[in-house]
Structure formats: structure tokens, C-alpha cells
Structure 1
């Protein structure tokens, strides 16, 4: 298992106007003539980090990273207007065309895996292969496990703080209750709920609770975009049929795909990644590799997950556009 690559700088960056409302920030890194690979961040609403480019060998890959609508440096910040799964899929395709890339490898974890599946199932001819981590397909059962009832059995102390900001009479649908407040006019309540929502996710993301990682939710700008956009997508079911991404996985089963899953992932439990693997043909499909990381949770920032992702990208060096 190889560690992430040493930090390296961005070659170029810019903004692409993708709608009358939204402009997305993007970066190009690594070898300008290298094999293109696009990184799709989590959340939705999480934004990219400098370390995200370090999974990709800069002497081989031309890596493309961008902040999805409303996230990170993209504008307008935390905006929900014209912000759906299919808007984001269109943005990926618009960015590919803007950068004059014919085909690329698609890399995404958590919500990034959702978006990777949505994009590749719509544009399989534009994909060389996929690297997916912590699979999330936005089915109602997945959402209710984490935000309503299930994960609270393992993290009752942190769930207490998550539910405390919602009145008892509204706790029957926590996502709906949060959405009302995250889209309301009470700015103090909005920030309070954004912090509580984001803290719940950061607290449960690693196998071992990381107090420093939880502090990320103390940044009100990050927490507001993260919570508002996530909740917006979740209460709307991602604007897709429940189970659609797994049902339509047959559209990409011819592509090389590596699935990496933390055994003790509480945010996106292994059941979903296993069902995707089976939908892709399971052991009968030699194009697909399914890898369980036995000592890890959900976060891409756990050492064993990081190393598995680097290894996956290195294995894909044999792929050509």
C-alpha cells in the first residue's frame, strides 16, 4: 500500500459559468498531457481540499478537481437554486468539453460516488473507468439509517446533539425538520442547525472519533453550504427514482471499476457497496474489483483508505483514453 503523493501545486485554475446563476471553480494539476482523471467531492456541499489531488501521480495523471454548485469557491455560496443531481452531471460534462477532454477516469467517494454513478450511467462513452469509495446511492433506506434511526444506536451521544436542535414533535422526520430551518429566515437558527448537522457527520466519519475532524464543522461558511446542500438533495431524493443508480448499473458494467469500502463505515454502510457490486455482476465480472478495508470507517482521510485509493489510481495507470 502506497501513501498519498507529496503535496504539489495547481497548474491552472479558473471559473466556468455553467448557468445564469452558477459559476464553478476548477483546478488542473499534474501532467498536462497525462491521462485525465476527474475528482468528484463529497457532501454534496463539501468542496475540494488541497490534499484531494494527492491521490494521483502528478507525473502520470492530468487531474481535474472542482467545487460543485454552491460549494467551496464556486458561486453563489450555499445556493440551492438550480442545484440538483442532474445539474451537477451536466456541469461535469460541460467541464469536460471546456477542457477539451475526450474521455476521463471518474473518481468519487461518498456523495462523490453517487455523482460518479449518475454521470457514468448517463455518459458511459465518456468514461475510461471508475474509482469509487464509500458507496452512497441516495436511497431512502440509506438516508433514514443515518439521519433518522440506525446509526444513532452506535453513536447515541453524538446523535443527542444532532436531534436536540429539533423540537420533539418534529423529530419523526429529521431531514424535513432540518430543511425547514436551513432554508428559513432565522439566521441564528440556520447556523445553529448547520453546525449540528455537520458535526453529526464529522463525528461519525472515522472508525475512531477524531475531535480535530469534528472541529471542521465549527467553520460556519463550510457548515452552512454542507448542511444546506446535503439536506436539499436528500429531502428531494436526489431528483431520481429510489434505487435508480443500482438498477442502472448494467450501463457501466463493461468499464473497469474499483470499489473501496470501509468495513465499519457508519455513514454509508457496506450493504450499499455490496449491492452495487452484485448489480455490476459481482465475481462473474472481471472488470470490477471490490475491496473491503477491514480497519476503517467512512472517511477518505483514514490511512488505510488513503492508501487503497492511491493503489487504485496507480493500477489504473494502464488505462488509456
Structure 2
């Protein structure tokens, strides 16, 4: 655990070989957490990887806390973890919300970044939020959309604010039901083929309430990013090698954001996987990510 101030203590772990190539893994959500399966994206003989649960997530404490929990608090936490490890630079690796945080960190501290590997690009633009929570994904999964909206229909017109209110209800059963509904909708959108196990795990896992509370908190504030900020800041990434692995049929974070980032950061290697959606566990996505970490492990230091 690392005390990062304001009452927050972060769970972290290091895996691989001490003294090997350093990397940091930034998990998704916001609000999810790291898991043992995340470690499998690097060769443990050639990497020294730090994984951690972001503020309020997983094993970090206080659990599900929204206080002092912003994108920029997390950027500061990543720097504190790097300093703790004693790395001058490290590889920054993140998918989904982790891609957002990777870009925010790398644009703030480019001198600390050796490479960037991203999956399922999410820039936290309003059109991306609207795709998931107003119109877009709803056209592909109409039956699940109706189920998602129905849970909140009696409580208000603004879907995000309604779910925030339900997740803050005094009744724990109301909070739990709202978290299950919020996370189920996301779980429906993240795989190419329906995976009930994935949907059930996301909807009803032990971190479900934390994931939903933190995610809605971040989305209410547009992740504390100005419109277009991450694209405008892409010039700060010039000279940093990068790979984006993006599923062609990603319904959670559609490829348009990855393509826009490629236009702003021409040097990045954008790989669109034709038979994949969003999750890193899908075979084509896994293959692209492992090939990227292997490639950078073999590259001489810059």
C-alpha cells in the first residue's frame, strides 16, 4: 500500500523480473481495478511491471470514495508510484479508461514515458458519452437499452444524473440494483459475441457499486478534461513510440476515437483488429498487445 494523501492509500504490486524493463498498467473503468489476468500481457522475464488499483478501486482505500478522486489526482499518483520504484522512465500501458489516463499522464510527464501501448481509445468527448448513454449503442442493443433505461425511468429524464442519485441512495439494495443495471449495460457492449459470464461478472461483482459510483462521478465531470484536450495535447507525444490496438467492432469505445488520435499523433502504430470488440481478453486484442510489449522489450533503449 502507498499513502498518497487526503486519506487515500493505493494497493500496488510489482511482477516480473526486478531490474528488467519497467512498465505501468493503468486499468479501466473508471472504477474497475487490476487483476491477475492483467499481468499476462508482458513477458515476465523481460519486464518489471507495476499494477495498481486506482483511488477508490479494488483493494485501495477508502473503497468507492469519490473525495479527492479526479483524473489529475490519478496522474499525480502514477508519478508517486514511479518515484517509489526509482524508474527514470517506464512504459505506459492502458485500455479503455486506462487509455484516457495514459494519455493524460503521458502528456503531463512525457519525459517519464519510454513507450505507450493503448487499447480501446476513449478520449472522454461528449459524443463518446452520448454514444453509450443517449444514442448509438442503443441502436445495436435495443432490448438491453430498454432494460437499462427502464431501471431509471421512474426517477428522472437525465439518465446519468438519475443513476448518480440511485447510487447514492440511503438503501443499500437500491444502490446495488442501480450498480448492477449500470454495469450490465456496459458489459453488453464490450464483447464481439454475447458473453453472459462477462456480463454477470461486471454487473454483480464485488466491485460493482464502486465501479458504477466512480464511473458516473467521472462522467459527470467529463473526467476533468476540456473538450478536445487529449487530441490537442498529442503533439507532446512526438518522439514517444506508441501502439494502439483497437477492435473494429468495439461498441463501447468505437474506432473513430482511435482514428482521430492517429491523425493527431501520426507516429503511433494503429492496429485495427477486424474480428474484435473491446476487451483485452479477446484473442485478436490479446495478440496485438502481447506483440507490442514483446516488440518494445526487444528494442534498444532510446
TM-score, scaled relative to structure 2: 0.97
State which of 170, 178, 182 in structure 1 corresponds to 2:163: 178
Q: Give distance in 2, aligned partners of 1:146 and 1:185.
A: 27
Matches within 5 A, 1:234-253: 234-253=219-238
Q: CA deviation at 1:186?
A: 2.9
1:60 corresponds in structure 2 to 46
Residue in structure 1 matched with residue 18 of structure 2 by the alignment: 32
Counterpart-to-counterpart distance in 1, 2:301 and 2:165: 47
For structure 1, the 5+ residue unaligned runs are 1-14
Q: Which moved more, 1:129-138 or 1:152-161?
A: 152-161
2:287 alignment counterpart: 307
Is 1:146 matched with 2:132? yes
After superposition, the C-alpha distances for 1:205-258 in whole angstroms (9 at most, x for unaligned) are 100010111111343531101110000000111112012111111111221010
Q: TM-score, normalised by structure 1?
A: 0.91
Residue of structure 2 equivalent to 1:291: 271
Q: How does 1:33-182 map to 2 (within 5 A)?
A: 33-167=19-153, 170-171=156-157, 173-182=158-167
- Compute the displacement of 1:185 (Å): 2.2
Post-superposition, which runs of at least 4 consecutive aligned residues in structure 1 deviate over 6 A?
none
Q: Within 5 Å, which residues of 2 pair with 1:149-298?
A: 149-167=135-153, 170-171=156-157, 173-281=158-266, 285=267, 288-298=268-278
Count of residue correspondences:
301
CA distance in 2, matches of 1:252, 1:76: 34
Could you tell me which residue of structure 1 aligns to residue 301 of structure 2?
320
Equivalent residue in structure 1 for 2:3, among 17, 30, 39 = 17
Cα drift, residue 202 of structure 1: 1.0
CA contact (8 A) 2:202 2:208 kept: yes
Contact 2:232–2:264 (8 Å) recurs in 1: yes
Consecutive unaligned residues of structure 2, counting only runs of 5 or more, are none
**Is contact 1:35–1:320 with CA below 8 Å preserved after alignment?**
no
Shift in CA distance, 218/280, structure 1 to aligned 2, threshold 3 Å:
closer
8 Å Cα contact 1:191-1:220 kept in structure 2: no
